[in-house]
């Protein structure tokens, strides 16, 4: 049996582990049996290092997947799915206040169609949000300083720091990936919904 080749637009360990965990959870769901191989390639997102809006996060995830698709064509590779992952911030008005949430986004494409998935969101402390928005500090640098540690994004991530280690960066991306893969592994339900509309 030929393995399904899933290209991921990152070589960062938390992202790759999230893909592995999501695919493991999806094995056998709704008859979607999947013997897979993960191919990690570093590609550019085309957005800020710390995306500052939901739209920018979504664009970054999609552009990573599209860059992989283009790379597959250039290198004559057979990759069945293209996965782009992007974490960033989203601002929401709450009365007179602005709240800033950290979100993790996934975009999964089979080369023809693609779908988004998103984790939940966790609110940033106001001072940390100001560091990123007003002072232009990258979130990875700001969260290291905030937590008094180094290299947080390659481990628990800002998610882990803010949630007291209950939700890691990897877990947030895992949730986003399962959501983005849903129209593929649960296609019958999506087709029924489209037919009913």
Ordered strands of the 4-8 beta sheet: 36-40, 4-8, 81-94, 97-109, 114-123
Strand partners, 116: 107
CA distance 184 to 190: 9
175: pLDDT confidence band, cut at 50, 70 and 90?
very high
Structural domains in the chain, sorted by start:
4-124+168-196 (3.90.950.10)
**pLDDT, tens digit, 9 for 90 and up, residues 134-166:** 899 999 999 999 888 888 877 788 999 999 999
60: nearest Cα among 71, 44, 73: 44
114: nearest Cα among 75, 77, 72, 61: 61
33: pLDDT confidence band, cut at 50, 70 and 90?
low
pLDDT value at position 182?
Answer: 94
Instruction: Examine the pLDDT at 49 and tell me if it is beyond 80.
Output: yes
- Kindly report the average pLDDT of the chain as a whole number: 92
Task: Tell me the mean pLDDT in the region 36-40.
Answer: 94
Task: Tell me the mean pLDDT in the region 40-68.
Answer: 97
The residue count for the chain: 197
pLDDT value at position 186?
Answer: 87
**pLDDT, tens digit, 9 for 90 and up, residues 113-130:** 999 999 999 999 999 999
Task: Tell me the mean pLDDT in the region 63-70.
Answer: 98
Q: Say whether 13 sits in a helix, a strand or coil.
A: helix
Task: Tell me the mean pLDDT in the region 101-111.
Answer: 97
Angle at 140 between CA 22 and CA 145, to 5 degrees: 135
């Amino acid at each position: 049996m030929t393995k399904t080749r899933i290209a991921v637009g990152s070589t960062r360990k938390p992202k790759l582990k999230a893909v592995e965990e999501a695919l493991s959870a999806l094995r056998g769901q709704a008859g979607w049996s999947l013997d897979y191989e993960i191919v990690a390639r570093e590609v550019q997102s085309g957005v800020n290092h710390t995306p500052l809006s939901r739209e920018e996060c979504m664009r970054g995830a999609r552009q990573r997947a599209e860059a992989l698709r283009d790379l597959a064509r250039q290198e004559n590779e057979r990759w069945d799915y293209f996965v782009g992952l992007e974490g960033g911030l989203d601002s929401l008005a709450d009365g007179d206040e602005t709240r800033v949430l950290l979100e993790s986004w996934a975009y999964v494409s089979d080369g023809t169609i693609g779908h988004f998935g998103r984790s939940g969101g966790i609110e940033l402390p106001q001072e940390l949000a100001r560091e990123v928005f007003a002072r232009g500090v990258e979130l990875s640098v700001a969260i290291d300083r905030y937590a008094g540690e180094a290299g947080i994004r390659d481990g628990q991530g800002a998610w882990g720091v803010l949630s007291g280690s209950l939700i890691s960066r990897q877990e947030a991306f895992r949730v986003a990936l399962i959501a983005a893969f849903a129209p593929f592994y649960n296609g019958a339900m999506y087709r029924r919904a489209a037919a009913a509309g």
